[in-house]
Structure 1
């Protein structure tokens, strides 16, 4: 059965069929699974007992949209607009990164996520420049121990930006990416690691870019025959949701990241929202960078209100932290702020209470993400029979001591420093505040070396020159879309 653990005398904080719930209980983990939740479970031979007195036990956080490899670029792009990001990163740096660059970025990014309590990631891997890039990243993902829906992108890196944006390698790139999709899909139906933690997805952003929909339909049909766990694509502003509908590609396995366009469709019976709900599609909302990069306004709680599946994500690790605390807080406080402002402007009577609270934000970061990835039968809550993807918080920490409600504590006050233990699939990947599978200092050393090489190769001066040249050539971009 493998390793077993008894989490003794903790406070469980989770969503249930009856809503958010906290209660005192012991949690028994056997192998990869939660096998018992009860008070006063007796210690038994072969089971390690972990004292959880004055500790909170919660599900691991679930990130529904993250570009993990971009950890190797973090701290470089925090102030960029979305169009600026396209020119400086997507069309300049990204086509030039090496397999070694993306490998260390991926490993460090997965370990960062685990340290911060993110146990499951939908990884939109959009630097799939060659088979070597893809395999290096896949290998690092499996080694990390994280639970990942790994979704390599069906797209080509640009070959030129000036005098015009060109993708001259599209034919060859399409060929090898489809061949690799078939190869990965042949591994036990897309289970890319032996333990099933890493499974195959597909990132597919090329619908609506012109041409016949036939090739899109063929590739998505291939992906679904595997079947991949989800198919994901960026939607910022514009009609891409309708593009997917018109191509006949929508379904409950579709996760659209951002979806800021939907903010401009407030009517209760709006067609675009109805298309999302009726097809069972999900939204991955990343409010921190959406607000800063001019994507538009975050729609996470609009989705909650309308019954559309929704989770949260960190998006580009080059731009903001990979923790989910900031995403939960920002989504909640943005929604409250907009509601308050609308009430003030309309000179309405203020409500007795805020419409949404910390429990709702916590749900977005856990069960909401599981629902978006169609994994709610396995993860997202603490229940017997589900995977042991769990966090243990120190409720006596400098951030949390004195807080009675774990949901308030986790959403509004906690940081990664308060997470002392992280389980994924019943394996401890963070114990006593430290990662267990890798010596972080060694990973950090290589990360710094690769990051410095990229900074030297693509200095701020070089990138700014390219951006200003493009800006001047285009007369000022008129679209924010990815």
Structure 2
């Protein structure tokens, strides 16, 4: 299909610009690509005109670290959880996801997850994790079947990666990556071989968690850093203020990226988010949601803690956050040539906001409006790769009703298997009555 988005207000960053561009213009989309941006474009034959008069049009948001589901689920539960999670992202205007899929514990789990991912219509770098499910949790964690899991997981990686250069869909919307959190455990040579294997395929990206431990140096010393590495969180970097700090230097030297997830990092007490410091230091960085079940955070905690006078202006602005969520995320995923901004020649991953809504009708600045005021209820239309997946505020590629009903049913089954008293008993083995870890 070809579409002409008529009369909208485009809000976008472009490479090299220190400020966003906001202007009224038409956008012509042919097949999967933006082919023209100008005022008063005439629609040719076969082009559907979409009235965007006065509405805001932004690039699709990019989530550089998301986990839709957890590992203690059946394959069917994984399928519906993954599908619902991807649809939730699209409903909110998030068109691209780096999915750290850590429940690839059986071939069936992996296949069901990939099937749901493709069905959703989202643009996804699908990163199954090279790890097995634990065979014992208490008193110590054990993975008795990890050797067997490693064999089939790496074979799956080879099979998927060599079919079409890592494209998991014909249009390239879903591509293959790898989640690898094992560096630092066991022989270094094993991890070097695994990551070398993944790069030879090659996978699009390799993602790993770094929170408080100095794992960046562990990767560096093993010779594993590179521009295809995306580290999630990196809160350990916040206190490292030395201009020549070796971890920051290693990140920049090797072109690695950070996936910063401020809301859940603050909610889980990971530490202070480092997104803006990464921008200041010239390290690639994007934003992510991580686990949507986790929420929280603090505002100006240092000001409140020390009784300081609040500053007149924040150090960072809505435009900084907007860029991190769009072009910054594309740069972190090495996809800035095809997504992240509204430019001729780029893929048509676009979001149209209803500016007549309760949330946005009184806002005249698209950047602050999208960053601070918009919710998924204000997202009127979402396009991924030139395909409309949400229109008139409703998901269109996959109908939500049946998904929602199955999700409720499966969630009830999970709650029945894991009632509060069982979860409390499990937690009591790990934490004492004051919430301190039991060593």
Within a 5 Å distance, the mapping from 1:285-296 to structure 2 comes to 285-296=260-271
1:411 paired to 2:387: no
Could you tell me how far 1:470 is from its partner in structure 2? 2.2
Could you tell me how far 1:353 is from its partner in structure 2? 3.8
Within a 5 Å distance, the mapping from 1:339-354 to structure 2 comes to 353-354=313-314
**More helix per residue: 1 or 2?**
1
Gap change, CA 1:352 and 1:154, over 3 Å in 2: same
Partner residue in 1 for 2:212: 237
CA–CA distance in 2 between the matches of 1:472 and 1:396? 52
User: Runs ≥4 in structure 1, deviation > 6 angstroms?
Assistant: 341-344
Q: Deviations over 1:112-161 (max 9, x none)?
A: 11000000000000011101100110011011110000000001110011
CA–CA distance in 2 between the matches of 1:387 and 1:478? 51
1:113 aligns with one of 84, 89, 92: 89
Q: How does the TM-score come out when normalised to structure 2?
A: 0.95
Q: Tell me the number of residue pairs that the alignment of Structure 1 and Structure 2 aligns.
A: 437
Secondary structure class of the residue paired with 1:68: coil
Could you tell me how far 1:43 is from its partner in structure 2? 1.8
Partner residue in 2 for 1:429: 389
CA contact (8 A) 2:25 2:39 kept: yes
Q: Deviations over 1:246-294 (max 9, x none)?
A: 1110011110001011112122221111111111111111111111111
Partner residue in 2 for 1:306: 281
1:204 aligns with one of 156, 170, 180: 180
CA contact (8 A) 2:286 2:332 kept: yes
Within a 5 Å distance, the mapping from 1:105-184 to structure 2 comes to 105-184=81-160
Secondary structure class of the residue paired with 1:186: helix
Could you tell me how far 1:177 is from its partner in structure 2? 0.7
Partner residue in 2 for 1:28: 28
Q: Deviations over 1:366-415 (max 9, x none)?
A: 11110000000000000000000000011121111131110010011110
Q: Deviations over 1:83-113 (max 9, x none)?
A: xxxxxxxxxxx2x411001000000111111
CA–CA distance in 2 between the matches of 1:342 and 1:382? 42
Gap change, CA 1:119 and 1:284, over 3 Å in 2: same
Could you tell me how far 1:239 is from its partner in structure 2? 1.4
CA contact (8 A) 2:327 2:336 kept: yes
Partner residue in 2 for 1:323: none
CA–CA distance in 1 between the matches of 2:80 and 2:397? 15
Structure 1: tracts of 5 or more residues without a match:
71-93, 321-325
2:238 aligns with one of 235, 238, 263: 263
1:397 paired to 2:357: yes
CA contact (8 A) 1:129 1:157 kept: yes
CA–CA distance in 1 between the matches of 2:75 and 2:22? 45
Secondary structure class of the residue paired with 2:48: strand
CA contact (8 A) 1:69 1:104 kept: no
Partner residue in 2 for 1:10: 8
CA contact (8 A) 2:256 2:284 kept: yes
CA contact (8 A) 2:138 2:429 kept: no
Could you tell me how far 1:340 is from its partner in structure 2? 5.5
CA–CA distance in 1 between the matches of 2:358 and 2:37? 29
2:417 aligns with one of 454, 457, 460: 457
CA RMSD across the alignment: 2.1
Secondary structure class of the residue paired with 1:284: strand
Partner residue in 1 for 2:161: 185
CA contact (8 A) 1:69 1:103 kept: no
Could you tell me how far 1:344 is from its partner in structure 2? 6.7
Secondary structure class of the residue paired with 1:192: coil
Partner residue in 2 for 1:81: none
Structure 2: tracts of 5 or more residues without a match:
none
Gap change, CA 1:301 and 1:478, over 3 Å in 2: farther
Partner residue in 2 for 1:221: 196
